[in-house]
Each structure stands twice: as structure tokens, then as C-alpha cells.
Amino acid sequence: MMTTAPNYLINPQGEKIAVVLSLGDYEEMLEDIEDLTALVERQNEPLIDHGAVIAELKADGLL
């Protein structure tokens, strides 16, 4: 969640031309975009039953 309201750079006509964010807010926004991109890219992958995942992890000695 953004910690502060964004600041805007204004041109001589009073139009907003750029946004100034804190570095933390910017990095958080980039991470959110990456997460959403991964979600869209994987939306058509087959689903795996939770029980099957647990069984596989146990069989591999990871759980």
C-alpha cells in the first residue's frame, strides 16, 4: 500500500506531466506489477490438487 500521496510535476499550463513517488512506493508498485504479470502468464496452467502436492512433497522427503 502506498505510504504517501503522489506528488505531481506540473507544466507551465498547469497540466500534470509526471508523478513523483517515494522509492519504497515505486518498488512496491513494481513488485505488484510483476506479481500480476505472473498471474496472467500462468492463468491457463492446469491446477494441481492440494492433496496431490502434499503427497508429492512427502514422497520427495520435503515435508
Torsion sign across C-alpha atoms 20, 23, 24, 26: positive
User: Model pTM greater than 0.75?
Assistant: no
Give a yes or no: residue 2 inside a domain.
Answer: no
Q: Give percent of the chain with pLDDT exceeding 70.
A: 98
Is the pLDDT reported for residue 2 higher than 80? no
Is the pLDDT reported for residue 1 higher than 80? no
Instruction: Identify the domain containing residue 46 by its residue range.
Output: 7-59
Any bridge partners for residue 10, and if so which? 16
Give a yes or no: residue 14 inside a domain.
Answer: yes
Give a yes or no: residue 52 inside a domain.
Answer: yes
Give the per-residue pLDDT at 5.
85
